[in-house]
Amino acid sequence: MASGAIGLVHPGEMGSAVGAAARASGSRVVWASAGRSAKTRERADRAGLQDAGSLAALVATSEVILSVVPPLAAIDVARAVSTLGFAGLYVDANAISPATARAVAEIVEAGRASFVDGGIVGDPPRPGSRSRLYLSGAQAARVAAIFAGSPLETVVLDGPPGAASALKMAYAAWTKGTSALVLAIRALAAREGVDGALLREWEASQPDLPARLERAVLSTRKAWRWVAEMEEIAATFADAGLPDGFHLAAADIFKRVAGYKDAAPPSIDEVAAHLAGATKRA
């Protein structure tokens, strides 16, 4: 195991920026190109990441592995890394429930690796951004040191694995959950023919909502990824004895607009009409 090597799985939009932040603090960051797209390779190259080729090679050369993947892939990635015999420090920085984070911990610790739970709040970290990586677990401070002086601020929580994921779930329950809600409200108003009146009332009495709606529409390109995140949030609420229906509905809203992935930004009217149409067909 090469001292100081950080293995990143996988350099998507967020992951590549996290890898670049680790590089900014002096770490050598590697990734595995096998099975990945040309777009992923371009992101990794821009971030200055070194290609290990395969996941097996990444595991063999990494002291720390950072998992930054869509929520549905978190368990599978942990299993794949554990199967390859990784016995270093595994950091799960995915948008998953505390229960899922603990399941990941069991998988990697069964293979003799150590585990740190992480949750990222904010946009991909870049100079001038306000992004934070919340961390919990016995070696959280060691992970925080990896990003010292980088654009990614770290916050070590006084709690066991699961605490960082709980913070992420609570935060995203508002930011992304309300994005789904405002999209659904606009679609309802459009279907009933009162969307113009609603927008005028918002401008008069809720002046922040039109801009929030606009941001929610622009974010539909990420909706495909947020479906599972809303389901993880719903599970977190259910595990706490709280109603989970809010975020199961949000998952449904994002599922209906998941087709905007990689598309040109749609208009507010286009998204509202699409959602209202999906409601009529349901």
Averaged over successive runs of 10 residues, the pLDDT of the chain (282 residues) comes to 76 96 96 94 96 97 97 98 97 98 98 97 91 97 96 97 98 97 95 94 96 94 95 98 98 94 87 74 37
Q: Which of 71, 6, 95 is nearest to 44 (CA)?
A: 6
pLDDT in tens, 71-128: 999 999 999 999 999 999 999 999 999 999 999 999 999 999 999 999 999 999 998 8
Q: Rounded to whole angstroms, how far apart are CA atoms 229 and 23?
A: 28
Q: Distance (Å, rounded) from C-alpha 126 to C-alpha 157? A: 23
Using alpha carbons, list the distances in angstroms from residue 11 to 50, 94, 231, 236, 265: 11, 13, 23, 27, 23
Exposure b/e, 208-233, CB count within 10 A at least 16 = b: ebbeebeebbebbbbbbbbbbbbbbb
Helix H segments across 150-244?
Answer: 163-192, 195-205, 209-218, 223-239
DSSP line for 221-280 = GGHHHHHHHHHHHHHHHHHTTS--HHHHHHHHHHHHTGGGTTSPPPPHHHHHHHHHHHHH
Q: What is the pTM of this model?
A: 0.94
